[in-house]
Structure 1
Amino acid sequence: MMPVRADLELRLVLGGDRSATVPVRLGYRPADPWAVTAVFRTADGDVTWVFGRDLLDEGLAGPSGEGDVAVWPVATAGGTVLYLSLASPNGSALLEADPVAVREFLDRTYVHVPAGTESSRFDLDAELARLVDDLA
């Protein structure tokens, strides 16, 4: 089954009215049914984050996530903006995304793996074998 991808442009909030555009590729693989991968393309190279598909979906409706990744919508005079907050020991970032583009991406992932059916796509025995092989 082919992965689902979407190339988006997010705005990195720099403070005040300043921001910078950051291209990001969202990716979803049915073989890893709970995860969404976001590859941010920066001048210093690609930065990859992996977080829950459900976290991103829930963040479209209201605040979602604790710790390293949080997502929430904000109504503005120009429409709704989706905020994505990322934090790591190396720093943090606040990004703005178009919620319509994120919803379209998620809807395409649900065509491949409907919500609630993720566990039927996950082979626990194969994953454990892979982990054991990686440790050997």
Structure 2
Amino acid sequence: MTQPFPSAAETSVTHEVVAHIAVADEPPVSLPAELRYDRSDPYAVCLSLGTTSTGTVEWVFARSLLSEGMRRPTGVGDVLVIPRHGCQRHSVRIVVRSPAGAAVLDIAASAVTAFLERARMVVPPGAEGQYIDIDRVVAELLAGGE
């Protein structure tokens, strides 16, 4: 269940949202989704689509990309974030691309704003470097070379 604000002891945030998804040659559908943020990876957010029973698809991208995309179109490559004003309701459009194709997701701007506010309480923007476990990062990099 989504809580309005994390407690001082919380190190992560999960926010349930509804994503309206359009994929080429398919009718649009609405799916349950989650936005997640964790202090252990302070620069990233995760967008998870679907349910455990139907299967989930996840994208991980910069929290700053999501935040900036609330104000102006931003991003290059696999993830673009675009604010949408003037439609029936304000939303944030997230375009995700992979070699298999692309999908366009619309999420209510109010839900994304609430998520970002909660994430800011866990790690304020600009303070992310204080939460990086350098020893863990180096160990993961060295293990990847084996």
When normalised by structure 1's length, the TM-score is 0.89
Equivalent positions of 1:20-31 (< 5 A) are 20-31=29-40
Give 1:40 deviation, angstroms.
0.8
Provide the C-alpha distance between the structure 1 equivalents of 2:32 and 2:123, rounded to a whole number of angstroms: 26
Q: Quick one: structure 1 residues 79 and 123, their matched pair in 2 at CA, closer, same or farther if it must change by over 3 Å? A: same
Give 1:131 deviation, angstroms.
2.5
Provide the C-alpha distance between the structure 2 equivalents of 1:13 and 1:134, rounded to a whole number of angstroms: 36
* 1:88 aligned onto 2:98: yes
Q: Is the 8 A contact 1:14 1:20 kept in 2?
A: no
Equivalent positions of 1:1-136 (< 5 A) are 1-14=10-23, 18-41=27-50, 45-136=55-146
Q: Is the 8 A contact 2:24 2:103 kept in 1?
A: no
C-alpha RMSD of matched pairs (Å): 2.0
Provide the C-alpha distance between the structure 2 equivalents of 1:64 and 1:4, rounded to a whole number of angstroms: 23
Provide the C-alpha distance between the structure 2 equivalents of 1:28 and 1:111, rounded to a whole number of angstroms: 11
Unaligned 5+ runs, structure 1: none
Amino acid at match of 1:60: M
**Aligned positions, number:** 135
Q: Give me the identity figure in percent.
A: 33
Provide the C-alpha distance between the structure 2 equivalents of 1:49 and 1:74, rounded to a whole number of angstroms: 21
Give 1:76 deviation, angstroms.
2.1
Provide the C-alpha distance between the structure 2 equivalents of 1:14 and 1:129, rounded to a whole number of angstroms: 39
Q: Is the 8 A contact 1:9 1:23 kept in 2?
A: yes
Task: Name which structure has the greater RCO, CA cutoff 8 Å, separation 6+.
Answer: 2
Give 1:106 deviation, angstroms.
0.6
Unaligned 5+ runs, structure 2: 1-9
When normalised by structure 2's length, the TM-score is 0.84
Provide the C-alpha distance between the structure 2 equivalents of 1:89 and 1:53, rounded to a whole number of angstroms: 23
Deviates more, 1:36-45 or 1:55-64: 36-45
Provide the C-alpha distance between the structure 2 equivalents of 1:127 and 1:14, rounded to a whole number of angstroms: 36
